[in-house]
Amino acid sequence: MKGKIDAYRHADTMGKSPLELVLMVYDGAIRAMRTAAEHYRHGRLQLGRDEVMKAGRMVTHLYTTLDAEKGGQVAASLGKMYAWVINQLQLVDATKDAEQLESAAKVMDNLRSGWADLKEQQTGGSRSRSEDIAESGTATTEHVLTTA
């Protein structure tokens, strides 16, 4: 059964646009952070740590797949934000502070909103706050494509 689920996930992922893949990674990281916070609040420390580690892998993936050459200042700014979130996750691993996790999740949620706005604009939506980024050509949807 697990093999069939993995095959479905792989097929589903292969059909996604680069921007949709970025959003999927954001969604996974945010979900893992919020799940970890709930585990910590209920004293399930190992389950919380597992979710923090999962979130850390996802944010690290976002960080390491930034295209600094194509992304310019936007990529540099994202890199700083990802580095901050990764640092927060390391602090949370040591302190088990659910509130700090929620703060990191809010930052990721705000960043995700920018990518969602960009997706909306690219699919024919109205002008968004990401418009200047998209028009300048500095936003790159190749963000997560450097790994297969």
Supply the DSSP string of 4-38, one letter for each residue: HHHHHHHHHHHTS-HHHHHHHHHHHHHHHHHHHHH
pLDDT at 120: 85
List, for residues 113-134, the tens digit of each pLDDT value: 999 988 888 877 544 444 444 4
pLDDT band at 13 (very low <50, low <70, confident <90, very high): low
Decide which of 22 and 127 is more confident: 22
CB atoms within 10 A of CB 141: 19
Distance CA 15, CA 56 (A): 25
pLDDT at 43: 97
Q: Which of 91, 66, 70 is nearest to 79 (CA)?
A: 66
Is the CATH code 3.30.70.890 the one for domain 17-136? no
What are the backbone dihedrals phi and psi of residue 43, each rounded to the nearest 5 degrees, phi first?
A: 75, 10
**Average pLDDT taken over every residue of the chain:** 82
pLDDT band at 109 (very low <50, low <70, confident <90, very high): very high
User: Is 71:139 a contact under the CB 8 Å cutoff?
Assistant: yes
pLDDT at 72: 92
